[in-house]
Structure 1
Amino acid sequence: ASGRFGVTAEYLVNSDVMQIKVAQGAKPGEGGQLPGHKVDATIAKVRHSTPGVGLISPPPHHDIYSIEDLAQLIYDLK
């Protein structure tokens, strides 16, 4: 799961398959934390951050609040 970091229109157009992950597996609705020692240069670049600094993944997808929103996202991606 990307958390949508690094996902671009070009990335989507060139994909063969897409999955929409609606919740974090272990703690639905809570997001997650990535300790600073795991944030290397590549991760920092994709997430527009600084290597070595801890990051928090936001829990919600701010464009999906209802089943209708999810249906619209699927329609748009098609």
Structure 2
Amino acid sequence: MKFENGGEEGVPRTFIRCTDPEMPFSGIRDHAMFAKEHPAWRYEELATGHDAMVTEPQACADLILAAARSS
């Protein structure tokens, strides 16, 4: 997301990577590695597929709540 008038500075960011199975698109992996290495991002992994909200709803909710609380 890019704000036309700025404003994204200081906004907390969390990347939740679903790893089992991992999405086959290399672009996802590139974004995940960027987030993992960038100090402005919080990086988390969840051992489930892309539909984490269906397959692991509690774990998914826990990560989202933890991200919200850390901001």
TM-score bracket for this pair, using the shorter chain length: under 0.3
Q: TM-score, normalised by structure 1?
A: 0.26
Larger strand percent: 2
Larger C-alpha radius of gyration, 1 or 2?
Answer: 1
